[in-house]
Copies of this chain bind each other. A is one copy, B any other.
Amino acid sequence: MENRKLCFASDYMKGAHPDILQRIVETNMMKTDGYGLDEISEAAREKIRKACRCKEACVEFLVGGTQTNAVVIDAFLRSYQGVIAAGTGHISVHEAGAIEASGHKVLTIPGHLGKLDADEVRRYVEDFYQDPNHEHMVMPGMVYISHPTEYGTLYNLEELKKLREVCDCYHMALYVDGARLAYALACPDNEITLPELAALCDAFYIGGTKCGALFGEAVVIPDPDRISGFFTIIKQHGALFAKGRLLGLQFDTLFTDGLYERIGVPAILAAQKIREALLKKGYRLCFESPTNQIFCIMENSRLEELQTKVEYGFWEKYDDEHTVIRFAADWGITPEETEALIDIL
């Protein structure tokens, strides 16, 4: 089956890396224990622990990003605590109140191209504890960031360490949403490796859905003693996947021979090419974004024609005559797709 027009709307629109499909086909009639208790899942866990250089980590596989955020945040927070996030964070805006549905407030701080500034977080928490009424307010119990962010930007190592310090200082957990983590790992600018994440975070997830898996995200909790009852919390959130091996084998494949760490490369290269082509053709980029997403300011008049030829993402209104649109390159992008887009632009 073929698509009628070019599609750069998002990075979860294709299926899975061929190696994953093959594993699914090969194991199809095998019978294994459910709920991730099978050997394939265990092997995948072990590979992830190794890649993170974190032997004791708790690794669990969930189905999707919003679900993962809701489960992890609920597992770490006490009922009276909330989670600090950028106002543009996925949990702040695009999860339909999933965090609040489990009773936790999202405490928003203005972000900078999707990133939280450690000093601003520190000030927020300091102000909180200095407020004589703070016991009438939601206690910040966690800091949520994404890497890459929703804007495709990256934290550098120094920034992440500073966030860690603030969290340590105020007994907050640090949680990284890695829905597009493969695109960070594949990016030359990226300083934050899996072992760094394991060393600096209380929890993070390795995104599969947007990074070559059919679906699935791998939660890593470097120190499992930080939480309790995680399996039951997963079940309570309706997030326990019956045929757990399906998740396990996807991550087992992604963590065989370092596939995950290089799977985003074609997308990064393609994005770079598209960015250069855009600039050459006189378009303006909205901001610097080194990963697989390209944010471009387009004249509205130009968009009408464009959308007959390519699907892109609406990002935001720029002014009355311009719109910011997003092109997302995915792990499976081909040179033909890239060229075809450049030709159209």
Contact = CB atoms under 8 A, between A and B. Distances in A.
A27 B15 contact: yes
A235 B135 contact: yes
A340 interface: no
Interface string A70-100: 1100110011111000000000011111101
A1 interface: yes
A243 interface: yes
A101 B229 CA distance: 15
B28 A14 contact: yes
A103 B77 CA distance: 14
Contact of A33 (B9, B28, B71, B138): B9
- Chain multiplicity (copies): 4
Interface residues of A, number: 81
Q: Is the interface of A mostly helix, strand, loop or mixed?
A: loop
Contacts of A94: 133, 136-137
A201 interface: no
Given A13-B34, A25-B21, A240 B103 contact: no
Contacts of A237: 98, 101, 237-238
Contact of A1 (B13, B27, B65, B242): B27
B13 A135 contact: no
Contact of A64 (B27, B103, B138, B241): B241
Interface in A95-135: 95-98, 100-106, 132-133, 135
Nearest to A70: B238
A34 B10 contact: yes
A79 B25 contact: no
A102 B36 CA distance: 25
A335 to B, nearest CB: 14
A156 interface: no
A217 to B, nearest CB: 10
A66 interface: yes
Contact of A34 (B12, B28, B233, B246): B12
A103 B97 contact: yes
Interface of A: 1-3, 7, 9-10, 12-16, 18, 21, 24-34, 63-71, 74-75, 78-82, 93-98, 100-106, 132-133, 135-139, 209-210, 214-215, 228-229, 231-233, 235-243, 246, 314, 332
